[in-house]
Amino acid sequence: MHQVQATQADAADQVFAALGDATRRAIVRLVAQGPQSVSSLAAALDVTLTAISQHLRVLQTCGLLQTRKVGRVRMCELDGQGLDVLAHWVELNRRMWEQRFDALDAILHEEAEGK
């Protein structure tokens, strides 16, 4: 595998691992509705600020979320980088499976015509 492909696979693995947790998926759903403060996320999900901070760190690392300070409040927003990684992974796998199904279809048509 080429270095670029390996890096893209690692990035996709990070995003999938981050989204493997129900709390992190809930955070992404909430932030998708608009910017949210860390404290509002903690309250909405009934978890501690420490737990939310740990989840946010994972989501930031894989590019799904970014935070910024507004006065004394830390706000969370979606980051398209992680979503782009997922979209690229889906597209690569879709093409691979379409090629495999096309090859299978050709084999089945050949066999059907040969009978």
What residues does each domain of the chain span? 3-114
Beta carbons within 10 angstroms of residue 68's beta carbon: 10
Q: What's the confidence (pLDDT) of residue 59?
A: 97
Flag whether pLDDT at 2 surpasses 60: no
The per-residue pLDDT for range 6-63, each reduced to its tens digit, is: 577 788 999 999 999 999 999 999 999 999 999 999 999 999 999 999 999 999 999 9
Q: What's the confidence (pLDDT) of residue 45?
A: 97
Q: Which residue has the tokens 């879709």?
A: 94
Q: What's the confidence (pLDDT) of residue 25?
A: 97
Fold of the CATH domain 3-114: Arc Repressor Mutant, subunit A (1.10.10)
Token readout for 34 is 């608009």
The per-residue pLDDT for range 66-112, each reduced to its tens digit, is: 999 999 999 999 998 998 998 888 898 888 888 888 888 888 888 88
Alpha-carbon span 44 to 23, nearest angstrom: 11
